[in-house]
Structure 1
């Protein structure tokens, strides 16, 4: 999972990758730290073209999170061809993320 700390790095990632999963989390957020490896595994095993990125809202990327309107953790955003198509905040399951990815991801192949 790639770490992103700036708006420039995030914009570059979204422009260069056809499918992106963003995890907005924090080092002091237990749920964030628990789902991070599960989302990495989901991407690597089931969606190999999916680029996963982690944005630490409680660290250096705080201003980026505020600018993007992220005020509660965790938040997962799914992007396809530079457009956000789904977002999950606070209470969700890995299954919810998987279900949201299946059809749009299939269009990439």
Structure 2
């Protein structure tokens, strides 16, 4: 038996943190007919950290036999790409970024584009790496005026652009494997943000 208490991978984590540094709820899930006696108390030094309430099992913090695990990271795993739906919204986002002297990454995609659909979650994970210093947005080229797409000079999907001072600084056209595109986007961000 392992020294560390683990939940089965199929159980989904909910409620990642609580305010003011108190213990965090790492896992909460529902299993019909489950009670606290179903958990092996001998493998835990802190059985009071696990409970069952209303058919929900919860665990506070992350514990092993030596005590709490220290290096729990609060950064997000992925950040949803915020949609841009009009040219006025596009101009407002670029204006806000210019005032804050920040760059923004804009992903131009289409709902019919399979590569776009496959790439989006990978870009959301990449966005988490740069959160909050770089904001990522997405534009569905089928829902915005064509003049906005033409203004950005987008001809292929997906296209990932880096904008600063209301000007396009660099772009990556994602017509190949997703991991290549993500690496190229990362390199583009690092090169442009280092200047």
Coarse TM-score class (shorter-chain normalised): 0.7 to 0.9
2:140 is aligned with 1:52? no
Superposition RMSD on alpha carbons, in Å?
Answer: 1.9
Larger Rg: 2
Is 1:9 equivalent to 2:97 in the alignment?
A: no
- Please give the residue correspondences for 1:1-40 in structure 2 after superposition, counting only pairs within 5 Å: 1-17=81-97, 18-40=102-124
SS in 1 for 2:107: strand
Kept in 1, the 8 Å contact 2:86–2:145? The answer is no
Deviates more, 1:98-107 or 1:33-42: 98-107
Equivalent residue in structure 2 for 1:80, among 164, 168, 190: 164
Residue 38 of structure 1 aligns to a residue whose secondary structure is helix
TM-aligned CA deviation for residue 106 of structure 1 = 4.2
Q: Could you say if the C-alpha distance between residues 33 and 62 of structure 1 is closer, same or farther in structure 2, counting changes exceeding 3 Å?
A: farther
Deviates more, 1:70-79 or 1:60-69: 60-69
Q: Which of 64-73 and 45-54 deviates more?
A: 64-73
- CA distance, structure 1, for counterparts of residue 168 and residue 86 of structure 2: 18
Which of 55, 64, 71 aligns to 2:155? It is 71
> Within 2, Cα distance between the matches of 1:68 and 1:103?
20
SS at match of 2:139: strand
Deviation at 1:35, TM superposition (A): 1.2
Does the aligned pair in 2 maintain the 1:22–1:55 contact within 8 Å? yes
Q: How many residues align?
A: 106
Alpha-carbon shift at residue 47 of structure 1 (Å)? 4.7
Q: Which residue of 1 aligns with 2:187?
A: 99
Q: Deviations over 1:62-91 (max 9, x none)?
A: 523244332321111111233321111243
TM-score for both structures, normalised by structure 2 = 0.49
TM superposition score normalised by structure 1: 0.83
TM-aligned CA distance change 1:68 to 1:103, over 3 Å: closer
